[in-house]
Every structure is written in structure tokens, then in C-alpha cells.
């Protein structure tokens, strides 16, 4: 895929160092899903609307379909594959989505989970209305948001109890070394 | 996306030189530009990536103004205690742009250089009579916005910061398009040392001041006074979302809501 004007990008993905030669046009999501085979990050609309491609870039939720891979040069990237502990213990937000059945087909779920973690970082005590408003970068086309919002509420409580929620703006969710690629 | 070359300068001077020699486009957060390139609406032969240039981020108080670096993300402005104390309207505006993911990448300078007719930042810059600081000069808000996606910036000129004078009171109210979250109409009102200013985005080809609402609020700074003003629909945008008349109607309505919440 690397053409004559290929550029080198070096980044950390789920705790592991990655170096790749990419065509400058390569989107971050295509680097993740292609060479790195991290297919948990989904391409939904491919126009920056739906949030299915959400990953964390240095702890912040971003849309990897609207980011050039070279914009992640030097950054820490966390995908859904890197969220659970090495022993398979789910992140509290993942566990909450499972517990509340905050999904139907599951296509939007990786983006929802990563966006929700960033939401809790910025709004640790968010009420239902705030969660609905602050989750507007992620679309579910199956069934609606009721269980998703319940999951975010439960996940927020669990994250706060585990100390992974952050009590002030600017607190990073720890990037965990995880499985995958 | 059409092919392009990437240049990653380490200084503003090198970036300006690269823009001059290549005729390319500057890349800030890319939340408009990358999407436009994917759709082939933009096809720069060279992208000049500004992310490696030190000194373009950060927020500081400078006397009676808040100065924000051009590469500062919307989310950083929204979360800034300094901005929240001095110009809460600015923090609220930044916190309402796009969605969480866009705010985490998109930058103040990028938004102003792009000058989307429905973007939020232009309303704050014009509403507060801010100064756009570039690598070569300081541009007054009144001189900066030239038209749809058009600014006073030269092809090799880069925004380095924006200086927002601290008003007595201000607020921004956006009537968001429910799909895009861009402003169908957005109104920024400010009571400043230099008088009342009302800037409107989303309603025309570029941000503009609503003189009739400013006159009404200059006489009487109340929501009722703003609501009583009328705005001519001539020249306003009409599309499948709203007619020019509807947008004209919204301007005093949103100005009134803004005055009611101004602080």
C-alpha cells in the first residue's frame, strides 16, 4: 500500500509499539483494521457522523475515519481490543454494556464504549440527560439509546468505584497494555 | 482521496515557507479538511501538518483578554477554568461544537481558517471583536471574515493565536441542525466596553453583525428588547432545513435567549 511518497509513522497501539510505512492518505482506521488486524474498530458511515470508528488518541475519544494515520504519529492509541485486562477481565464500561444489554447488533458498541469512557472522564457524575447529550457523536441504528444510557450510568459508577473514572477534567483513563496485534 | 505529499515543519516560519512553495493546505485537527478530502471536495497537492510546531497551543490571560493558541482543541477551551472564569460564553460555545470526538481533535485556528458559514467560532470572534494573530500581523475581526469559506489570510499566512477581549457579559445560543449539529442559526451577544455586539452564524454566507438587534439591545439590554427587533430576510440562506424568513425570525429569538442567559 505504501507508494513512492510513503511516510513512516510510529505509534503505540494498545500498549505495543508499532511502526508502519503508509501512503499519506491512509486513515487511522484503515491502518488499524488492515495491517494491524484490529477489526474491532468499525467503519460505519465513513463520513465522521456515526462514531463506530471511535478510538482513544492519548486518552481522548476521536473518530479514526476522520484522522490520517500520520496524525497519530507519536501517540498512544487504544482500541476496543486493548480495553479489557490481559486476563480477559472486562473494563467496567464493557461489563456495564453486557449487564444492561446496551446493544442489539453490536456494530456501534466498540465506539459507544470508548466514547462513554471519555464521557465519564469529562463528566464523572453525569445524569441521564447529560449522557444523552454528550453521547451525540455515536449513533445506534438498531433500537435506540435507553439501554445504552443505562449502561453508561452503570459503567460510570463502576469506573468511579474502581478509580478509573477520573474526578476532574484532564484526568486520563489509563491506557492498558492489552491483547491483540 | 487524491494523493498528496505531506510536510511536517517544526516551526511556523518553516510551515509558512512550505505553504508558499507548495501552494498546499495547512492541516490542523483535520475535522473539516480530512472529511472534505475524502469526498474529493478538497484536493491539496501538499498538506502542511502543523501538529509538530511547538508554541501554538495553550490558553492564557493577557490583561483584559483571553489569548488562545491556534492549535488548542475545542475540548481544551471547553474545559479551561481560565476561560470559564473570564468568558464563560466562550467555554460553552467550544463545548457545543460538533460532538465529543470532533471537539477532541478540532482546533480554534483550523475552524477560523476554514470559516465554514455555519461554524460557531466565527460568531465568538466577531461578537467579542477579537483579534486574529497571524505569523505576520494582527487582524481585527471586522477585517478577517470575507465570505463563504473566505478569510483575509494570505495563502502562506498562519493563525498563531486569537485574542478575545473579556466582555462584561456574553452568551452564545445555537439552534443546531439536529443531524449535523452545525448552527442552523447561532447568535453570540456581548456587552462590551465598546458597546453591544450581536454576531450571527449559520444564517448567511458568512458571519455578520445583526445591527437591528444591536440597536435594540443598546437601548435596553433585556431579552424582551432583543425579541422585539426585526431582521430582514433578504440575503439570508434558504435550504431544505430552513427558509430565509425562518432564519430571520430565529435571530431575535436566539438573541433574546442569549441575553437571558448572559453572564
Q: Is A66 on the interface with B (CB under 8 A)?
A: yes
Contact B105 A62 (CB under 8 A): yes
For the residues B135-152, what does the mean pLDDT come to? 98
CB B192 within 8 A of CB B168: yes
Cα dihedral A149, A150, A155, A157, rounded to 10, equals 110
Q: Which among A60, A66, A119 has CB closest to B30?
A: A66
Instruction: Give chain B's end-to-end CA distance (angstroms, integer).
Output: 45
Long-range CB pairs of B49-53, under 8 A, 24+ apart, other chains included: B49/A70, B49/A71, B49/B6, B49/B7, B49/B8, B49/B9, B50/B9, B50/B15, B50/B26, B50/B158, B51/A71, B51/B8, B51/B27, B52/B8, B52/B9, B52/B10, B53/B9, B53/B10, B53/B11, B53/B12, B53/B15
Find the helix packing angle between A109-122 and A92-99, rounded to 10°: 120
Q: What are phi and psi of A69, to 5 degrees?
A: -55, -35
- Tens digit of each residue's pLDDT (9 = 90 or more) over A13-68: 999 999 999 999 999 999 999 999 999 999 999 999 999 999 999 999 999 999 99
DSSP calls for B178-190: TTT-SEEEEEEEE
Contact A23 B3 (CB under 8 A): yes
CB B262 within 8 A of CB B189: yes
Q: Is A133 on the interface with B (CB under 8 A)?
A: no
Q: Is A119 on the interface with B (CB under 8 A)?
A: yes
Q: Which among A24, A46, A63 has CB closest to B4?
A: A24
- Tens digit of each residue's pLDDT (9 = 90 or more) over B30-46: 999 999 999 999 999 99
- Tens digit of each residue's pLDDT (9 = 90 or more) over B180-225: 889 999 999 999 999 999 999 999 999 999 999 999 999 999 999 9
Tell me what pLDDT residue A144 has.
86
Select from B104, B116, B174 the residue whose CB has the most chain A CBs within 10 Å, as the one to mutate to test that interface. Answer: B104
Q: Report chain B residues whose CB lies below 8 A from the CB of A47.
A: 35, 38-39
For the residues A61-79, what does the mean pLDDT come to? 98
Taking the CA of residue A54 and the nearest CA in chain B, the distance in Å comes to: 8
Tell me what pLDDT residue A173 has.
38
Task: Note the ipTM here.
Answer: 0.94
Count of C-beta atoms within a 10 Å radius of residue A161: 10
Tell me what pLDDT residue A170 has.
36
Contact A62 B181 (CB under 8 A): no
Taking the CA of residue B31 and the nearest CA in chain A, the distance in Å comes to: 7
For the residues B69-94, what does the mean pLDDT come to? 98
CB B151 within 8 A of CB B70: no
Smallest CA-to-CA distance from B96 within B123, B126, B71, B70 is with B123
Burial label for A156, CB within 10 Å (0-12, 13-18, 19+), is buried
Taking all residues of chain A, what is their mean pLDDT, rounded to a whole number? Answer: 89
Q: Is B96 on the interface with A (CB under 8 A)?
A: no
- pTM score of the predicted model: 0.93
Residues 77-96 of chain A whose Cβ lies under 8 A from any Cβ of chain B: none
Contact A67 B30 (CB under 8 A): yes
CB B212 within 8 A of CB B238: no
For the residues A92-121, what does the mean pLDDT come to? 97
Residues 6+ apart with CB under 8 A from A24: A5, A6, A7, A68, A70, B3, B4, B5, B6, B47
Q: Which among B5, B101, B181 has CB closest to A63?
A: B101
Tell me what pLDDT residue A164 has.
60
Tell me what pLDDT residue A143 has.
79
Q: Which among A3, A24, A54 has CB closest to B101?
A: A54
Q: Which among A3, A5, A68 has CB closest to B34?
A: A68
Please state, in angstroms and rounded to a whole number, the distance separating the CA atoms of residues B162 and B110.
12
Select from B99, B116, B182 the residue whose CB has the most chain A CBs within 10 Å, as the one to mutate to test that interface. Answer: B99
Amino acid at each position: 500500500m505504501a507508494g513512492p511518497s510513503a511516510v513512516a509513522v510510529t505509534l503505540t497501539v494498545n500498549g505495543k509499539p508499532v511502526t508502519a510505512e503508509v501512503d499519506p492518505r491512509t486513515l487511522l482506521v484503515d491502518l488499524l483494521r488492515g495491517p494491524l488486524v484490529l477489526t474491532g474498530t468499525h467503519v460505519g458511515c465513513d463520513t465522521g457522523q456515526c462514531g463506530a470508528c471511535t478510538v482513544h488518541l492519548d486518552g481522548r475519544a476521536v473518530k479514526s475515519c476522520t484522522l490520517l494515520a500520520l496524525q497519530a504519529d507519536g501517540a498512544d492509541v487504544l482500541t476496543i481490543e486493548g480495553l479489557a485486562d490481559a486476563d480477559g477481565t472486562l473494563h467496567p464500561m464493557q461489563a456495564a454494556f453486557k449487564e444492561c444489554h446496551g446493544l442489539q447488533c453490536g456494530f456501534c458498541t466498540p465506539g459507544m464504549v470508548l466514547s462513554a469512557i471519555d464521557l465519564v472522564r469529562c463528566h464523572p457524575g453525569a445524569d441521564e440527560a447529560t449522557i444523552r447529550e454528550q453521547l451525540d457523536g455515536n449513533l445506534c441504528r438498531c433500537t435506540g439509546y435507553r439501554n445504552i444510557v443505562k449502561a453508561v450510568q452503570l459503567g460510570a459508577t463502576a469506573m468511579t468505584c474502581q478509580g478509573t473514572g477520573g474526578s476532574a477534567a484532564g484526568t486520563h483513563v489509563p491506557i492498558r497494555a492489552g491483547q491483540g496485534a | 482521496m487524491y494523493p498528496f505529499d505531506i510536510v511536517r515543519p517544526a516551526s511556523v516560519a518553516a510551515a509558512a515557507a512550505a505553504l508558499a512553495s507548495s501552494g498546499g493546505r495547512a492541516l490542523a485537527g483535520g475535522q473539516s479538511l480530512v472529511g472534505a478530502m475524502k469526498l474529493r471536495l478538497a484536493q491539496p497537492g501538499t498538506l502542511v501538518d502543523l501538529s509538530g510546531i511547538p508554541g501554538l497551543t495553550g490558553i492564557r490571560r493577557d490583561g483584559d483578554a483571553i489569548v488562545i493558541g491556534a492549535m488548542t482543541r475545542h475540548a481544551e477551551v471547553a474545559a479551561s477554568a481560565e476561560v470559564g472564569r473570564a468568558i464563560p460564553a466562550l467555554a460553552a460555545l467550544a463545548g457545543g461544537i460538533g460532538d465529543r470526538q470532533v471537539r477532541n481533535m478540532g482546533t480554534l485556528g483550523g475552524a477560523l481558517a476554514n470559516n465554514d458559514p455555519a461554524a460557531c467560532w466565527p460568531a465568538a470572534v466577531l461578537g467579542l471583536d477579537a483579534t486574529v494573530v497571524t505569523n505576520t500581523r494582527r487582524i481585527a475581526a471586522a477585517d478577517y471574515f470575507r465570505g463563504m469559506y473566505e478569510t483575509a489570510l494570505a495563502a502562506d499566512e498562519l493563525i498563531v493565536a486569537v485574542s478575545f477581549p473579556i466582555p462584561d457579559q456574553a452568551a452564545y445560543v445555537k439552534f443546531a441542525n439536529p443531524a449535523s449539529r452545525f448552527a442552523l442559526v447561532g447568535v453570540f451577544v456581548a456587552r462590551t466596553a465598546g458597546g453591544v455586539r450581536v454576531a450571527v452564524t449559520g444564517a448567511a454566507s458568512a458571519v455578520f453583525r445583526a445591527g437591528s438587534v444591536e440597536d435594540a439591545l443598546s437601548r435596553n439590554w433585556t431579552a424582551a428588547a432583543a425579541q422585539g427587533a426585526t431582521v430582514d430576510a433578504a440575503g439570508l440562506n434558504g435550504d431544505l432545513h430552513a427558509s430565509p424568513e425562518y432564519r430571520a425570525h430565529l435571530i431575535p429569538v436566539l438573541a433574546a435567549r442569549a441575553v437571558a442567559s448572559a453572564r
